[in-house]
Every structure is written in structure tokens, then in C-alpha cells.
Chains A and B, each alone.
Chain A
């Protein structure tokens, strides 16, 4: 009876310890991921050799249409520094895209954790990031169209001038033809 209680308690304690350990390990890993400093495109392009093959975190706006390929998908992420970087996503199904940046559209802001390549062997020497984890920081949106009121006014003035000039040209042309 006593032996049974002890073994039962041992099982419970070891279970709690295991859960505790797993939780902390997960937390450590998670902290490791998110405590990593976000690297800018400027930093990555300038010091590409130092970052080559490293696990990095990169943030930016999704611009242009993602390019779906057989084995994955390309997304171009712009952080408004040196330029947009190509991000290769092996499992496109896991990515939820709302908006891709374009005219009057602000694309989804994404945080990518992945492996940086200075000259990717898989992709013909491109400087790229192979994504391992993608998180949406901010969803994109459609910008309201600006009202071109001042342009309309300006255009009206110009049209009046142009019409007057065309009239003069017409009258002068007729006069010249007569003479």
C-alpha cells in the first residue's frame, strides 16, 4: 500500500517536473526567437557575409503580388530601408495574406524568422531569406483615395487657356489661308 502511494506520488511529481521543464524550454526557445533583434535590409545587404546562413528576424510590408511556385512561394518584404528582400516560403498554406502593398494599398506588415542567404544555392545566387516562421504584426488596408480637387481646378484653368489658344489658331489659320 505504502509502496503504491510512493510510486503514485513519484509519478505525479515527475509529471509536474516534466511539464515545468517543457514549459520553460518552450519559453526559452520562444524568448530566443522574439528577443532576437530585428535586422534591417540595409544591415543585411551591407553585411551579407556576416549574416550568411544565420537565423534572423526581419520585419516589413508585403509589397507586390506573392509569386506562387510549385515548391513554395516568394514574397517580397520591404522595410523602407535599403530595399525589399525576397522571402522564400516552403509552405505557403501556413501564410494568411490579407493585402499585398501596391497603389493605394498598404500591405500586411509581417515578421519573418528565417535563414538568411547571401547567395542562395537553391535560388540561383539570390540574396534571400528562407522563412521558418511568419507572423502578421499589422494587417494591411486600402488607403482612401485622395480628392484631387486642386488638380481639377488647375485642369479647368488650363482647359480654358487651351480652348482660347485653339480658337486663335483656328482664326489665324483661316486668315493665313485667305492671304
Chain B
């Protein structure tokens, strides 16, 4: 029997959602500073309008839904699912007002792509977009990568509560770095801001060295850092990383992508001096193995077709796309069409596999995630061992992820279910792509890229693509970023509201 949600449930959800929308309004004020620095009057208005809409909506929700009950698991999940939708819709307002989007749907796509750290883009004439709007595009990645809830927890909430923990977990983060969830959220931001400052300085100096003016170099550096560390994939230029024609910048972005793909817990362990964890961690080992396997696949195919005769070129093109795919970043020093026109099917399969697998849990990457792959693999080994050993023997499989844990059936079951859901999402998107007339491999490539929040494109994503397909990719980005459960709960809540008993 399903129970129909009560008014209080709606109030609890609305009240928290209102707070999160207000937080988004405050974030929208940040690009105004960029507008003032670069003397861009028109874009400042776009962000003032966007922020005011957020404040009005947020205040209205908190006014009408004023309640002091704590969030339950269901409420937390629904709040997060709706907050991400609201962020995509409201974050699209200044983008749409820029006049660089064919429709509001395109602006919503861009906004969702930003918040979900995907990197697929529908912006028209990016090279003439204002600094202010460009900064916002990248800021959405920084905010989305760390988590909209994480920022709200760090800024708006003073003390931790069970409800705070529930919405934190609902945002596809199931690990606490520190005992208190607010401290964890603040730690995540501390790590991010320290890296932001250091990374931007390094990238800025690289930009100057490669021929950019200091102002442009540091603006690009901040943007690229936010998109690379949060495994997003936007750049301020239509050519993506290729604009810079720089091996140096590519190398720095590789390091940032890897840093972004590592579990925040692992960052904490490294920060606190536990460097042995780097070599013992199952997740990191799995990531290394899958990276090596997919790299071999890509290199073998690229060598077969003799696309890049030089080792440097092979590394710059082959490894760069692969690391970008595996970390879910989506940075590319190739043109989208080159994937389909030049690269062989095997190398495309290698890239699709890397995109689908993704990085680490509790990082900014999307996809299945290395820990789940590792757990499934360990589970498989355990099963084989059990069959081979005498029936009377008791076998215990242990895994090391930050601490030594006994591998239980439930761990493997959860990992398998989530992996299957990701596979279903990748293939569902591919079928939709084929429905619109795109070939299978192209459709699978684009669908995996959207669902695993990567951002590499083989050319399907462009402003002239069918509107329905844009909507499907947006849903994939949303589902992929939140790792399904919040969205299933939201779906269940809607069903209960319609069919549930009073």
C-alpha cells in the first residue's frame, strides 16, 4: 500500500528547496564581480535578473512552506533531485539572456551540463560570449562538482543535523570525510579552494608562457581549473583545449583531471600524511588497471590505422582523450568530427568504455566508478575461489578502501545493481539516438558521454539536434550525476501523490 504524501511533507521539501534556491541566488551574484572587472554592463543585468528570480522564488517557497521539522531520507532525496532541476532551470536564465542560445531549452541544457559537470555544450558563437557569462558556465561546474547541497551546507547551515546528512548523501556522496557532515562539506570546499588558488596560478603562468596576455591568461586559468578539477569540460573557447596549442597546458590539465577524479577521502588521507593509502587503495588500483587496459585498446587501434606516427602525437591525442574520458572531464584537443571520421571503431569502444567506467566515488566524476568495478571484480574472484575450495572451508574476502573491510554480499549486490542501472541508462540513450537516425556507435558515444557526465562529443550535440534528444540527454545528465536513487524516490513520491491512499 502506498500512502499519499501529506501537506507537511510538501512543506518540508519546499522549505529546504527554497533555502537551496536562495543559495543559488547568492552564487549568481559572483559573476557580477567579473562583469565589473571586464566592464561588461549588459551581462551584469542578466545576472541581477537571474539572482532576483532565485531570491523571489526561494523566499516564496520558504514563506509558504515554513516548517521546522527535520528532513527524512525521502525528503532529503526529493529535495536534492528537485534542487538540481531548479538549478538547471534558474541557472539558465542569465545564459538565455546573453542571446547566445537558440532557445531556453538550449540554455537549460547548458546549465544542466554545467551543474552535472558534463561539458556538452549548445552555446552559439562561444568565442564572442562575454567574460561574465563564460565565468558563470565554469562556475556552475565548480558548484555542481562539489555539490549544490555541499555549498548550501557549508555556507547556510551552522550545525549538522540528521537532515543535513541525509541531503548530503542524497547528492551521490555516501562517505563522510570527517565525523560531522558540515565539517565534511567545509573540508571539501577547503580542499577545492586551495587547489583552485594553486591550480589557477600554475595555469595562469603557463598561459603567459604560451603567449597570452596576463589578464586573459588568469581568466582562462580560473575557468579551466574549475572545469578540469571538477571534471567538467567547458573551456572559454570553441576549440576547447586545442585553442592553446600547448603541450604544457595539456599536461597541467591532465594532472588536474586526475586530482579531480580521486576520492575526497583519499585527498584527506594524503593531506594528513597517510601516503601508503595511495598504493593500497582498491579504488585507485582499479582506476589504474582500467586506465591501462583502455589505453592499450586505444593505442593498438590508433597504431593500426597509423593516425599519429609520432610518439608525442600519439600521447597527446590518444592519452589525452582517454584520461579526459576516464576522469569524466571531456576536455579534448581534437575536433568532434575527428572521432568519427578518423578514429577506428576499436579506439572509440576504448573511449566509450573509459567514459562509462568513470573515476572515484566521492569525487566529481560520473559513471559507474572504480570502486564498484573493483568490488564486482573482487566478488567474482571470491565466487570462483569458493567453488574451487572444499565445501567445508570458510573463505573471507577483504578489500582495502581507506580501511580494511570484509567484502559482503550486499556490497557486491549494490555495486552490481548500480552498474546495471548505468548500463541501462547508456543503452537507453543510445537507442533514443538511433531513433533519431544516428548510427549505433555515435549514439552510444554521445549517450555514454551525457549519462556518465563526461562531455566528449562525436558531433551529435549541437544546437540543431532534435529538441527531444536534448531533453533525453538532460535527463541522462541529471540521473547520472545523482546516481539514480534520488530520482527514483522522486518518481515514487509523484506516483504516491497520484495513486496513494490517504
Number of interchain pairs (Cβ within 8 Å): 141
Contacts of B129 in A (CB 8 A): 103
A contacts with B: majority SS: mixed
> Is A18 located at the chain interface by the 8 A CB criterion?
no
Residues of A within 8 Å of B40, CB to CB, are: 103
User: In the bound complex, what is the Cα–Cα distance between A164 and B53 (angstroms)?
Assistant: 14
Q: Which A residues from 147 to 167 make CB contacts under 8 A with B?
A: 148, 151-152, 154-155, 158-159, 161-162, 165-166
Please tell me if the beta carbons of B127 and A73 are within 8 angstroms of each other in the complex: no
**In chain B, what residue has the closest Cβ to A151?**
B45
Contact A145 B41 (CB under 8 A): yes
Known A82-B337, A155-B48, A172-B63; contact A67-B244, beta-carbon cutoff 8 A: yes
Distance to closest chain A CB from B20 (angstroms) = 17
Residues on B with beta carbons closer than 8 Å to the beta carbon of A53: none
Across the interface, do B45 and A67 meet the contact criterion of CB distance under 8 Å?
no
Q: Which of A3-11, A19-27, A29-37, A124-132 is near enough to bind chain B? A: A124-132
Distance (whole angstroms) from the CB of A82 to the closest CB of chain B:
6
User: Does A109 lie at the interface of the complex (its beta carbon under 8 Å from any beta carbon of B)?
Assistant: no
B310 within 8 A of A: yes
Query: Of A45, A148, A154, A158, which contacts B56 at CB under 8 A?
Result: A158
Q: Is A123 an interface residue (CB 8 A)?
A: yes
Please tell me if the beta carbons of A155 and B45 are within 8 angstroms of each other in the complex.
Answer: yes
Interface size on A, residues (CB 8 A): 54
Q: Contact check, A67 vs B212: say whether CB atoms are below 8 A apart.
A: yes
B53 contacts across to A, CB distance below 8 A: 158
* Dominant SS among interface residues on chain B: helix
- The count of residues in chain B whose C-beta lies closer than 8 Å to any C-beta of chain A is 54
Q: How far is the CB of A79 from chain B (nearest CB, A)?
A: 12
Residue of B40, B130, B342 contacting most chain A CB atoms (<10 Å):
B342
Any chain A CB within 8 A of the CB of B460? no
Question: With A76-B237, A145-B41 in contact, is A69–B127 under 8 Å at CB?
Answer: no
**In residues 105-146 of chain A, which contact B (Cβ within 8 Å)?**
105-106, 118-119, 121, 123-128, 145-146
Of residues 176 through 214 on chain B, the ones whose CB sits less than 8 Å from some CB of chain A are 210-213
Asked if B317 CB lies within 8 Å of chain A CBs, one says yes
When distances are taken between beta carbons in the complex, the residues of chain B under 8 Å from A166 are 59
In the complex, the chain A residue whose C-beta lies closest to that of B38 is A103
Is the C-beta of A68 less than 8 angstroms from some C-beta in chain B? yes
**Which partner residue on chain A sits nearest B129 by CB separation?**
A103
Q: Are the CB atoms of B313 and A151 closer together than 8 Å? A: no
B42 CB → nearest A CB, Å? 5
Taking beta carbons and an 8 Å cutoff, which residues of B are in contact with A?
Answer: 38, 40-42, 45-46, 48-49, 52-53, 55-56, 59-60, 62-63, 66, 97, 125, 127-131, 210-213, 216, 237-239, 242-247, 307-310, 312-314, 316-317, 333-335, 337-338, 341-342
Known: A126-B242, A127-B338. 15 other contacts (CB 8 A): A65-B211, A65-B216, A67-B211, A84-B127, A86-B243, A86-B245, A101-B127, A106-B128, A124-B310, A145-B41, A154-B49, A158-B52, A158-B53, A162-B56, A165-B63
